[in-house]
Amino acid sequence: MLIVPERLAAACRGTPERCTWLERLPRAIRELQDKWSLSLAAPFDGSDASCAWVATAVRGDGTRAVLKLGMPHMEAAHELQALRFWDGDPTVRLLEADADLNALLLEYCEPGTALRELPELEQDVVIAGLLRRLWRRPAVPHPFRALSAMTAHWTDETIAAAPTWADAALTREGLRLLEELARPSSDDVLLATDLHAGNVLRAQREPWLVIDPKPFVGDRAYDATQHLFNCRGRMLAAPDVTIRRFADLLEIDDERVRLWMFARSAAEPRDIWNDDSITLARALA
């Protein structure tokens, strides 16, 4: 019997496309086991198991890998193409793929410890180094969407939730900035957009490898934000100092990062609007 992590099942409930994907998941996994000669362990089940079914696999030749089947997810639509683009530098390598099933067979990271086990100041240094390596301009034509496509998607969700906004003036200013900051530029690069310490694993081929990119082409300063949001204590206690330190490591404009952090804190869609994000937005305003 197929085990489905509860967080993944919960993420699929109420969305017809995702419910259909979940119903078809057992058959898809069996098909991939036969196609790629895989023996599978139980799926990963934790705080990160909410957007994909992921399990350690042993291939026919005895080598270990990771099987990942992603649920329908707007932000992760081109993960396969991004992994091909970066080709292991500095991401996990793509070993096999089935685009129809949204399935990836990935390099196994040994020991696979997440970067979040390290103190945050050390995380800053590692993530900054990885981001600087990831930032490249894909040759035209390419499949990747502009960052403005993601911010427009968020804007629609946020506007739909207007009756629940905790601070309407703040949120409207955040929406304005989301549109302004995401405008395409000749300096845009391929972004990971979701790079934080939980998506960086210790490995043998390199000290650290990136997993789970959600690729969009856009402003480098945006890619600083997800790690900073995960450093919530530092951001609430000393936002300007924290942003400036990380921006310096990335060699980008700290004011641009601050504006992105404000825009996301003020206007990114969420279930509860009267939360730490509003507190942070007010501190950055």
**Residues marked as catalytic:** 194
> Cβ(123)–Cβ(201) under 8 Å?
no
Distances (CA, A) of 283 to 95, 227, 262, 266, 277: 45, 18, 9, 11, 10
| Residue 111: cis peptide before it, omega within 30 degrees of 0 | yes
Q: What is the rounded distance in angstroms from the CA atom of residue 21 to the CA atom of residue 12?
A: 8
Q: What is the rounded distance in angstroms from the CA atom of residue 195 to the CA atom of residue 230?
A: 10
Q: What is the rounded distance in angstroms from the CA atom of residue 112 to the CA atom of residue 115?
A: 9
